[in-house]
Chain A
Amino acid sequence: MGVTPDDRELLGAYALDALDDQEVAAVEALLERDPDSAREVERLREAAAWIAATEALAPPRDLRSQLFARAKALSPELRVYRQAVARHEALLDSIPESALDASTTNGLSVGDLVVHLAAMESAVAETIGFPQAVTAETDVEARTDDYLREFSADPLGAGRTTWCAATVALDEWSSSGSERASLPWSGLAVGRRTILATRAFELWTHDDDIRVALGRDREAPTEPELAVMSDVAVGILPFCVTSNGETAPAASVRMVLTGAGGGSWDVSLDGREHAGVDVTVTMNVVDYCRRVADRITIDECAARIDGDTDLGHRILACAAALATL
């Protein structure tokens, strides 16, 4: 679609926030398709920001300490969760209606995946009192199916609305509750930290699914996100190795995840103390997260296994169990 001078006539008012919502949407669509307009808006916004600089005024002295008190009160997990939520919202903004039927990695369409996330986020939120709107079902697939039926007319709009409301409820619970607060999830009492990390993990995973379906590049989480997500993903390894009903091996594993946000963990798989580690698995932290999400195969992990090779492979095979929770 071509761009006419008339289309660009709104750019000044846009840079000054002097448009109504419909006009903002029209200009933002224009900016998506016309790099010249996008450059002009950046230039006009910069000019506007310098106009604002003529009004600089020192804030009250205690505002700085108030800000830092709020920043410090924000746990790394809640910060990561909020980042994941905001990034998902931005992604939802960019999904064209025409792409809703595109297939994603896990078999659901883009639209279905948006609804699936609404089903999952609301399931967690319902355990803290979020009103149950669609179903009492807790099985992942059955619950998603119920939501897909309910939201079939408007998966993007209805899915987003429900998902947003659930994230707000979860955020409020996380901001106000005790550090040791926990939720019942998959038969376990799961701590706040783990809940937030796993929600961020699922959002990142499905955001990547959507990006790939839309023909875009996958994105790696930031360093703090990886630090939180990998810590939780390594911590649940003992649960993962027994999730298929097998007995936990009497062994200890050293997970060495390389790259920013990685680290090293010694994990007892049976909960007992061991004199040393039986196997060391070394791999990239993003690859590990993608393996845990079952988005890459063991071969694609390029993991180095030192020690008990069979155990190392079993751990990498079981690590993807998180994806089924």
Chain B
Amino acid sequence: MTAATEWEHDVHRRLISGDQDALGECYDQFSSFVYGLSQRVIGDRRAAEDITQDVFLYLWERADAFDPDRGGLRTWLGTLAHRRSVDYVRREEARRRRTERVGNEAPTTPDVEEMAVAIVTAERVRAALETLPTEQRDAIHLAYFGGKTYREVAVVLNIPEGTAKSRMRLGLARIASVLEQEGVGQWA
């Protein structure tokens, strides 16, 4: 688990005290991440925009729910955005109405330093994903980006449910190890 940075501790304090500039900093830093994740899971631009707004509004209203001593803001926002996106998909069965994903928009982050870090890190994560056994990568992709439960993943991949669970856990643990070995967490 990566400790939150000094900036995250500072922005957390300022959000709690009602400083809207702190909200702007968080948005500039992480909106591409949140929007990209929601868009990838839901496949619907309007819904991804709504969820992105809701996630940052939740941060604004409930900054106290984020505990920087327990982890970084990226993980917290990512967990929030992913859960809401998956809820949306399952509730609305949006997968049936999924529009074709727009693929020509470059990954971006607003802050120059964060942009550099995020791009480098994203490359390392892509590389780490490539090193995963295909069966683990497929299980993670189907669950994380496809919004499927491990049972549904088991059906899709035609494997026992226990195997689906194991692949998800082992695959994530392996990515975590790779990132830790490369010191990615220190930048998170």
Contacts and interface: CB of A to CB of B under 8 A. Distances in A.
B53 A63 contact: yes
Interface residues of B, number: 79
A7 B164 CA distance: 15
A222 B125 contact: no
A318 B185 CA distance: 54
Contacts of B107: 54-58
B170 A18 contact: no
A46 B188 contact: yes
B27 A67 contact: yes
Contact of B71 (A12, A46, A223): A46
B149 A39 contact: no
Given A46-B185, A50-B125, A66 B175 contact: no
B68 interface: no
Interface residues of A, number: 53
Interface string B114-147: 0000100110011001000000000010011101
B176 A74 contact: no
Interface stretch (A75-83, A112-120, A126-134): A75-83
A51 B144 contact: yes
B65 A86 contact: yes
A55 B36 contact: yes
B175 A50 contact: yes
Interface in B1-41: 1-2, 16-18, 20, 23-24, 27-28, 31-33, 35-37, 39-40
Contacts of B17: 222-224, 260
Contacts of A87: 64
A18 B149 contact: yes
Scoring B35, B39, B147 by chain A CB atoms within 10 A of each residue's CB, the highest score goes to: B35
B35 A53 contact: no
Secondary structure type dominating chain B contacts: helix
Contact of B1 (A43, A54, A60, A64): A43
A68 B1 contact: no
Given A44-B172, A57-B39, A18 B56 contact: no
B122 A53 contact: yes
A19 B150 contact: yes
Contact of A18 (B1, B39, B129, B153): B153
Contact of A48 (B16, B23, B52, B82): B82
B121 A83 contact: no
Contact of A57 (B32, B60, B64, B71): B32
A19 B77 CA distance: 19
Contact of B105 (A9, A20, A57): A57
Contacts of B125: 50-51, 53-54
Contacts of A55: 36-37, 39-40, 107, 145
Interface in A56-112: 56-60, 63-64, 66-68, 70-72, 74, 76, 79, 82-83, 86-87, 90
A76 B19 CA distance: 11
Contact of B122 (A20, A43, A56): A56
Contacts of B72: 46
A17 interface: yes
B75 A46 contact: yes
B109 to A, nearest CB: 6
Interface string A8-43: 111111011111100000000000000000011011
B169 A44 contact: yes
Nearest to B56: A67
A242 B39 CA distance: 58
Contacts of B57: 67, 70-71, 74
Given A56-B108, A224-B18, 4 more contacts: A19-B150, A43-B176, A48-B78, A66-B53
Interface of A: 8-13, 15-20, 39-40, 42-60, 63-64, 66-68, 70-72, 74, 76, 79, 82-83, 86-87, 90, 222-224, 260
Interface of B: 1-2, 16-18, 20, 23-24, 27-28, 31-33, 35-37, 39-40, 48-49, 52-53, 56-57, 60-62, 64-65, 70-72, 74-75, 77-79, 81-83, 86, 105-109, 118, 121-122, 125-126, 129, 140, 143-145, 147-151, 153, 162, 164-173, 175-176, 179, 184-185, 188
8 contacts: A17-B82, A18-B149, A48-B144, A48-B172, A50-B175, A54-B122, A76-B18, A86-B61
What 3 pairs between A and B have smallest CB-CB spacing?
A: A12-B169, A49-B78, A57-B36
